[in-house]
């Protein structure tokens, strides 16, 4: 039995991709897991496949009433809230001078405001129970710039900064807050991307959702003296430009 037995966890965007892998990893750690997503069919099917200590609830992360329901249901079903994983996110392609204002706002609403709203509303429950963890799934786009996805980059840099502020505010209540920064990962969001973009990385491949989930599990269960920091899972993509320099023998 671990210290989180009898505690609940919420994973947003948990119906597929990284969120689904995280939900499965936390279920193995004896959390009662609420998969929260707009994808009702996929989420319900996944929850059923993971066993009786996993449930699905519909969640629009920009909707305050949805959040209140999900948090209340998580605690009613599985005990005091122990973990919040803010994973829900969307991506839009468009240059700074061509993307529509409506889409820019929509990306920030989901990726940044949605995560803030979750922390805002889950904060009291996490403070009350203590020994809690929030993990915000950012991106390498929260560590560097990328052309053509300005809204996404802005949202992920914002989430990185918000993580640090939340860590300062919630630390005295024994609640840790960290961000995870995946590089290219095989998910539905990246399905149309050319995998050659990873060719120059030290590890020249896309990662798998389970590799990100393993990092999240480590943050939640093992990294007990870490808060307000970035955990990077990117195959070395952010190490800098890779140069094919001659090596002296």
- Give the list of residues 6+ apart from residue 209 with CB closer than 8 angstroms, or none: 17, 18, 20, 21, 22, 185, 186, 187
Which of these, 204, 155, 212, lies nearest to 187 by C-alpha position? 212
Quick: pLDDT tens for 91-138.
999 999 999 999 999 999 999 999 999 999 999 999 999 999 999 999
- What is the pLDDT confidence band of residue 158, given thresholds at 50, 70 and 90? very high
Quick: pLDDT tens for 77-89.
999 999 999 999 9
The position carrying tokens 């920064």 is 181
The position carrying tokens 């709203």 is 117
Q: What pLDDT shows up at residue 2?
A: 59
Judge whether residue 246 has pLDDT over 60: no
Contact 113, 37 (CB under 8 A): no
Return the DSSP state at 171. Answer: G
User: Would residue 113 show up in a list of annotated catalytic residues for this protein?
Assistant: no
- What is the pLDDT confidence band of residue 197, given thresholds at 50, 70 and 90? confident
Which alpha helices (H) appear in 79-197, and where do they start and end? 101-108, 114-129, 150-170
Contact 157, 142 (CB under 8 A): yes
Which alpha helices (H) appear in the chain, and where do they start and end? 17-28, 40-50, 64-78, 101-108, 114-129, 150-170, 209-221
Judge whether residue 170 has pLDDT over 50: yes
Return the DSSP state at 99. Answer: S
Catalytic residue among 31, 56, 78, 152: 152
Kindly list the structural domains of the chain, giving each domain's residue range(s) and its CATH number in brackets, ordered by start. Answer: 8-233 (3.40.50.720)
Which of these, 196, 12, 11, lies nearest to 90 by C-alpha position? 12
Instruction: Give percent above pLDDT 70 in the chain.
Output: 95
91, exposed or middle or buried, with CB in 10 Å at 0-12, 13-18, 19+?
middle
Contact 19, 87 (CB under 8 A): yes
Q: What pLDDT shows up at residue 1?
A: 44
List 33's β-bridge partners, or say none: 9, 54
- What is the pLDDT confidence band of residue 159, given thresholds at 50, 70 and 90? very high
With residues binned 3-state (H G I as helix, E B as strand, rest as coil), the percentages for the chain, rounded to 5, are 45, 20, 35
Q: What pLDDT shows up at residue 192?
A: 79
Q: What pLDDT shows up at residue 245?
A: 39
Q: What pLDDT shows up at residue 248?
A: 42
Judge whether residue 50 has pLDDT over 70: yes
């Amino acid at each position: 039995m671990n210290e989180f037995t009898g505690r609940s966890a919420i994973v947003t965007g948990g119906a597929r991709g990284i969120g689904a892998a995280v939900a499965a990893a936390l279920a193995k750690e004896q959390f009662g897991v609420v998969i929260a997503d707009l994808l009702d069919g996929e989420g319900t099917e996944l929850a059923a496949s993971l066993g009786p200590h996993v449930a699905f609830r519909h969640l629009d992360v920009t909707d305050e009433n949805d959040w209140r329901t999900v948090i209340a249901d998580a605690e009613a079903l599985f005990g005091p809230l122990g973990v919040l994983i803010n994973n829900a996110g969307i991506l839009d392609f468009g240059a700074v001078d061509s993307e529509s204002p409506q889409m820019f706002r929509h990306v920030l609403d989901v990726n940044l405001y949605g995560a803030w709203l979750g922390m805002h509303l889950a904060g009291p429950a996490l403070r009350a129970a203590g020994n809690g963890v929030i993990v915000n799934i950012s991106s390498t786009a929260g560590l560097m710039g990328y052309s053509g996805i300005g809204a996404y980059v802005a949202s992920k840099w914002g989430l990185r900064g918000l993580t640090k502020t939340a860590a300062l505010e919630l630390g005295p209540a024994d609640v840790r807050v960290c961000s995870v920064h995946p590089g290219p990962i095989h998910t539905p969001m990246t399905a149309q991307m050319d995998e050659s973009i990873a060719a120059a990385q030290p590890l020249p491949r896309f990662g798998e959702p389970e590799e990100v989930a393993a990092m999240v599990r480590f943050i939640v269960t093992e990294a007990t003296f870490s808060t307000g920091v970035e955990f990077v899972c990117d195959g070395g993509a952010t190490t800098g430009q890779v140069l094919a320099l001659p090596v002296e023998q």
